[in-house]
Amino acid sequence: MKSNRKIVRELHGCTGLVLLLLSGACFGAAAQMAPEIFAPGVISTTASEQSPAFSADGNTVYFTRRSGAQSAIMVSHRQGSSWSEPQIAPFSGIWRDIEPTMAPDGSFLVFASNRPERTGDPLLDGAWGGKVYPGRGGNLWKVSRQGAGWGEAMRLPATVNSMTATFAPSIAADGSLYFMRPDVVTGKFRLYRSQFRGGRYEEATLLPFTDGTRGGVDPAVAPDESFLVFSSNREHPDGNDLFIVFQESGRWDEPHNLGTAVNGEGDARNNIEARLGADHHTLYFSNTYVTSVHFPRTPQQAVQDLVRMQSWDNGNENIWFISLGPWLDAHRAAAARSGR
């Protein structure tokens, strides 16, 4: 990744969609962009943070804060140009809750949890990649808005929660649910969609671009399901890149890597937990990027580096964001030229 994740003057590694659409122009506007850290020292801190889920007006955010031993869903409210000190969300804190996602209209929220289905049952164990993870399984749970608060969390049905390694929900405008669970043969995560129809979640179907041989995790779907962002190690086995894939007339195209200006450089990069903001075109994601420090440094630089390290920049996961506008504009331009 570019030093300090500041303005990038060129979009390296343009492939696929970029080359086809802009003949090497590399998205023009995207060449002036790079991810920015989200609310450093408040939401992105020295703990690990992931998966921000915004209210419909963008003024409240729910997100995961975790360490190796615990996790909870936090909530923070916009206060002018800043965010309030996060608190544990009213439906979280007792169990290992992660990965909140908000319905586009803000009427309900879905999250993953290791909580048992029935009181007195043991915590959910998870199994993927040929390993068992005691107490670290997950099913998807739903909480609905009740006035200014939330109702009781309800476990989603077996059409979604068919195994105890069901994670990473994302909600379309019609209530249909995208999520991940491992392939029963390879153990690699694959992406699924459950159509919400007549008040029910139908049996989940596989998304065609995750075949079980290459990992696919953490879907973030547009409300109208016209595009989806997800993470995959298909190009770098030691880490995950962010990919965007478009849907036309009910058919998903081939995924396209968002490029090194977003994903960074080197085989060990790991960008996960994609989410869309309330505007539906700002992309949020998490990684463990650490700002480069160059020696020798001045005493003033040493102080600045220490403040940043003690605030957020210590190698744990933080939340970053970038506009998807250039990618979406390029896709629309290509569709117009092709007459779609």
Identify the residue with better confidence: 37 or 213. Answer: 37
pLDDT in tens, 10-27: 333 333 444 333 333 444
Share of the chain above pLDDT 90, in %: 79
Residue 340: per-residue pLDDT: 65
> Helix, strand or coil for residue 261?
helix
Cis omega (within 30 of 0) for bond into 296: yes
Q: Can you name the residues that pair with 319 across neighbouring β-strands?
A: 286
Contacts of 118 (CB under 8 A, 6+ apart): none
Residue 199: per-residue pLDDT: 96
pLDDT in tens, 215-274: 899 999 999 999 999 999 998 888 899 999 999 999 999 999 999 889 988 766 899 999
- Distance (Å, whole) CA 130 – CA 115: 22
> How many other CB atoms sit within 10 Å of the CB of residue 262?
26
Of 59, 91, 93, the closest CA to residue 76 belongs to 59
pLDDT in tens, 277-320: 999 999 999 999 999 999 999 999 999 999 999 999 999 999 99
Task: Average the pLDDT over 87-101 and give the result.
Answer: 98
Identify the residue with better confidence: 284 or 212. Answer: 284
8 A C-beta contact, residue 267 and residue 260: no
CATH number, residue 148: 2.120.10
Of 169, 108, 113, 168, the closest CA to residue 138 belongs to 113
- Distance (Å, whole) CA 94 – CA 334: 49
Please state the separation of Cα 332 from the chain's center in Å. Answer: 23
The structure tokens 């290509």 sit at 334
Reported as a pLDDT band with limits 50, 70 and 90, residue 144 is: very high
Residue 295: per-residue pLDDT: 97
8 A C-beta contact, residue 124 and residue 138: yes
Give the up-direction half-sphere exposure of residue 28: CA atoms within 13 A in the CB hemisphere. Answer: 8
Domain assignment of residue 193, given as a range:
3-338
What's the mean pLDDT when you consider all of the chain?
Answer: 89
Q: What angle do CA 217, 221, 227 make, to 5 degrees?
A: 105
Instruction: State yes or no: pLDDT of 109 exceeds 90.
Output: yes
Task: Average the pLDDT over 23-35 and give the result.
Answer: 53
Instruction: State yes or no: pLDDT of 155 exceeds 60.
Output: yes
Give the torsion sign (CA, 119, 120, 121, 123): positive
**Lowest-confidence pick of 66-70, 132-136, 326-330, 335-339:** 335-339
Burial 19-50 (b: 16+ CB within 10 A, else e): eebbeeebbeebbebbbebbbeeebbbbbbbb
Residue 261: per-residue pLDDT: 85
Q: Can you name the residues that pair with 276 across neighbouring β-strands?
A: 283
**Overall number of domains in the chain:** 1
Largest CA distance in the chain: 65
**Lowest-confidence pick of 80-89, 175-184, 327-336:** 327-336
Residue 268: per-residue pLDDT: 67
Output the pTM of the full model.
Answer: 0.91
Instruction: State yes or no: pLDDT of 92 exceeds 50.
Output: yes
Instruction: State yes or no: pLDDT of 5 exceeds 80.
Output: no
Reported as a pLDDT band with limits 50, 70 and 90, residue 339 is: confident
Share of the chain above pLDDT 70, in %: 90
Both tokens of 241, joined, read: 């890149």
8 A C-beta contact, residue 97 and residue 139: no
**Lowest-confidence pick of 117-121, 137-141, 237-241, 292-296:** 237-241
